[in-house]
Amino acid sequence: TVYPSPTHRYGIVLARGPEDDDDRIHVFDGGVFLVPHGDHYDLVTEPVSRHSLEIVEEMPVHYVNTYGWTTIFADASGHVILINEQDLAGSTGDYEPIVLEAGPQHGAALVISEGHVAVSTPHPEYLENPNFWNILPEGVEVRTFDNELVFDAGACPRLHGESHNAHGAVFGCWDGTLFLHAHDGEYERELIPYPPEAGEYGEFAIGQYFGHHHSENFFGQSTLFPGGECCVQGGVWLVDVGHGEMSEVFPEPSAAAAFSSDGGTFYMLAADGVLRAFDAHDGELIGTMQLVDPFEMVFGSPSPAMVVVGDMMYVADPYSGHVLGVHLTHMEIEEEWHVGGAPSSLAFVGVADSGGAPDQGHDDHDDHDDHADDHADDHDDHADHDDHDDHADEEDGHAHHHHGTHDPHFWFDPIRVKIAVDEIAARLAAIDPENADFYRQNASEYGKKLDELHAWTQEQVSAVAPERRLLVTSHDSLSYFAELYGFEIVGLVIPSLATDVEPSAEHIAGLVEVIREHNVPALFGETTVSDKLAQAVARETGATVIQLYSGSLGEEGSGADTYLGMVRSNVERIVEALR
């Protein structure tokens, strides 16, 4: 199975060989990543390569990314393997991961905070009597990276499945969902019992969880044990750890599942081939599409897999040998590749440039699709890994522009701003839990205003014919806006994300030619940037200079003295100049 590293630079493969001692952990450098350079980031593009780090472990199964760390649990040895991506990137081939001893078990572990790892504890009878039930862990502890006990979270009988969000981690127990989190610097545990409607004790458990850094709720795949015998897959449940509740959202099992990039939507694919979208806040079904042909879910056989990258979902379909690219906004298949074989694993590796993508040049602990229902002997670990990185060389300030640095101008995209607002609210709630509801309510109300702003902008922009949606700007500040609303940036006065770069005479001459060639009527300057060069280009081409608010709001009473007003003012000026 292939997984991404925390910032998606590396693809990490858990490979199972024909014999147990053939199992390996391989690391591949995708070759596309960001590196800090002063006040910005530079984009690096290199050939895909295999990292010298190779780990020999029997039955490496569970895989989790948190806090810049990759945690892998090797069942046969009970080793908890901790790989720090930053240290890995800076190594010259001699990188040594941290390895903790947890004891042989079908275990689980994840870095739950800086320097602390939550790890399952084995059944005391496993080594003497390693049957189906005894292979499952019996509890959870928090330990330091030196393997010193910090907190005993207590019993979690027959543990299987774990995930996490910004507030803590969940583990699937025989009697409910264990929620482990920190409060005022101390760890606490809460057990959310399975509700009566789930079935009799011992006949129901949630053994696979899905979480997202920006989602308050978790989703879980249930397993049924009729008469106490293993096993039949059940329905999909929403686990509300904030209120200590859970409810079934779909009665049939999920073959593959993933959150949207912003954590607001949960997607699942069932055996009928239908992709279903659920509101992650309340579990309400909000969309469906026929994604693949109906199929039979057979335990231990290859099954579909999915990853979300910005507005796109990529799905590996082992039954057709295809990988599909689904545009989630329209719920339509936009791309399709026939790769052959039975692709059943894929990961995104690289730097994405669309809203809510998994990597924006920093380490965020999202992409929490931790592991599948992977008992010790049921994985065919041949991975089909498809990279979707759209990179091109930066050209001379005009057509087909791609920036090679970390673009900070996300505020021109209300969808990105909504993600930022939710992130701010989550961080404030974690710092000040007594007022958490206040922060979340404010974020929710402002999010609705941002949704209205986005819809209004789409309506306004529709008045501009597609062939006239050509932008020439003072510097590279409107890329997010252009991408979201269907504009093309054909020219930049200053060919940079920064404003302190002096363009060459050749660049200005090329810009004048582009404006004349495309008959661009307006050149968009900025209130915080000198328009001397822009006015010179305008005089040479006959274009009009229109000032936009970019680096600051307008003065009080200008109508652009709030974020919402600033965006509306800019949109009105752009539409009026181009239609």
Instruction: Please give the pLDDT value at position 544.
Output: 84
Instruction: Please give the pLDDT value at position 527.
Output: 67
Which token pair is 5? 């590293």
Give dist(CA 568, CA 457) in Å, integer.
Answer: 8
Instruction: Please give the pLDDT value at position 149.
Output: 96
- The answer to whether the beta carbons of residues 130 and 181 sit under 8 Å apart is no
Instruction: Please give the pLDDT value at position 480.
Output: 78
Instruction: Please give the pLDDT value at position 487.
Output: 86
- The answer to whether the beta carbons of residues 119 and 102 sit under 8 Å apart is yes
Q: What is the DSSP letter of 210?
A: E
Distance of CA 138 to the CA centre of its chain: 31
Give dist(CA 515, CA 186) in Å, integer.
Answer: 61
Which token pair is 286? 């909000």
- Residue 233's SS3 state is strand
Instruction: Please give the pLDDT value at position 336.
Output: 93
Q: What is the pTM of this model?
A: 0.64
- Residue 356's SS3 state is coil
For the chain, domain boundaries = 2-338, 410-578
Instruction: Please give the pLDDT value at position 114.
Output: 87
Residue 531: name the closest of 513, 514, 545 by CA: 545
Instruction: Please give the pLDDT value at position 39.
Output: 72
Instruction: Please give the pLDDT value at position 17.
Output: 83
Close Cβ partners of 338 (under 8 Å, ≥ 6 residues apart): 320, 321, 322
Report phi then psi at 308, rounded to 5. Answer: -110, 130
Under CATH, which number does the domain 2-338 receive?
Answer: 2.40.128.630
- The answer to whether the beta carbons of residues 12 and 70 sit under 8 Å apart is yes
- Residue 457's SS3 state is helix
CATH architecture of 410-578: 3-Layer(aba) Sandwich (3.40)
Instruction: Please give the pLDDT value at position 529.
Output: 66
- The answer to whether the beta carbons of residues 299 and 284 sit under 8 Å apart is no
Q: Which residues lie across from 111 on neighbouring strands?
A: 117
Q: Which residues of the chain have pLDDT under 50?
A: 354-405, 496-501
Which token pair is 421? 């607002």
User: What pLDDT, in 10s, does the model give residues 136-154?
Assistant: 999 999 999 999 999 999 9
Instruction: Please give the pLDDT value at position 408.
Output: 66
Strand pairing category for 139-144 and 116-121: antiparallel
SS (H, E, C) 131-194: CCCCCCCCEEEEEECCCCEEEEEEECCCCCCEEECCCEEEEECCCEEEEEEEECCEEEEEEEEC
